[in-house]
Structure 1
Amino acid sequence: MPLSPRAPRLWRCLFWPCVLAVLVLSLIPPEPYVPTTGWDKSNHMLGFAVLMLTGWRAYPAWPGRVWLGLLAFGGLIEILQSFTGYRSAEWLDLLADAVGLALGFGAGLAVARMWPAERRA
């Protein structure tokens, strides 16, 4: 059963707060209240997988643009972290972001196959 044509708007209402949450969690001091998976790289992969999946659902006609935009967003986060005294910019973090985007892209493919009408919205 295809979802409502309004579904992308609903996903946008979820996607943009997720973008803001990833930005804030990436820039605030890590101790003592930042939630974590226990490994910095898995935090990146999980966050960017969620961003890719929600971004694709929010903008189903542009998955490539969503992917590139989120990869650039990951690079921006690394640059911004280099200006803090308590975070550090790392190339491996950007690689973890890219892996997360690929995982989210794969999940997005599965979702698009389940609800093909969503890609046309």
Structure 2
Amino acid sequence: MLPPTQLPPQAFDVWDKAQHAGGFAVLTLLCLPAFAASRLRVFMWLAIYGVLIEVAQQVSGWRTGDPMDWMADVAGVLAGLFLHWAASKFRHRTTTDLPDAQ
């Protein structure tokens, strides 16, 4: 559902962009366990999803689509991919650094 917004659109709202990026980072982290073999596919589908959200807002008549929101979505997906990669490197490092139990 795309409810009407109370505030007039602003030129650039940092908090709004942070919410977009954060939301898409979380979506990425939730999608990756299911599609870990295809990180590129996760990136592409979430980027397309972000575009569709902005198009839906634009055609709704009471909301406006913003290309900068989509860019924040993509930045969030990239951040989620990076966090997933960093966590996997950390897990690998900590498990290989453990002494052998004898």
| Shared fold (TM-score, shorter chain, > 0.5) | yes
Residue 78 of structure 2: aligned partner? 102
User: Equivalent residue for 2:95?
Assistant: none
Deviations 1:8-43 (A, max 9, x none): xxxxxxxxxxxxxxxx5xx23345xxxxxx821111
TM-score, length-normalised on structure 1? 0.62
What SS does the corresponding residue of 1:57 show, helix, strand or coil? coil
Equivalent residue for 1:29? 4
Give the TM-score normalised by the residue count of structure 2. 0.73
What is aligned with 1:71? 47
Structure 1 partner of 2:34: 58
Structure 1 equivalent of residue 9 of structure 2: none
Please give the alpha-carbon distance, in whole angstroms, between the structure 1 residues aligned to 2:15 and 2:88: 30
Tell me the C-alpha RMSD between the 2 structures: 2.0
Partner residue, 1:81: 57
- Give the structure with higher Rg (CA): 2
Q: Which residue of 1 aligns with 2:88?
A: 112
Structure 2 unaligned segments of length 5 or more: list them.
7-13, 93-102
Q: Report how far residue 59 of structure 1 moved.
A: 1.2
Q: 1:57 touches 1:108 (CA, 8 Å); kept in 2? A: no
Which structure: greater helix fraction?
1
Q: Which runs of 5+ in 1 are unaligned?
A: 1-23, 32-37, 116-121
User: Distance between the aligned counterparts of 1:86 and 1:107, measured in 2?
Assistant: 35
Partner Cα separation in structure 2 for residue 112 and residue 28 of structure 1: 38
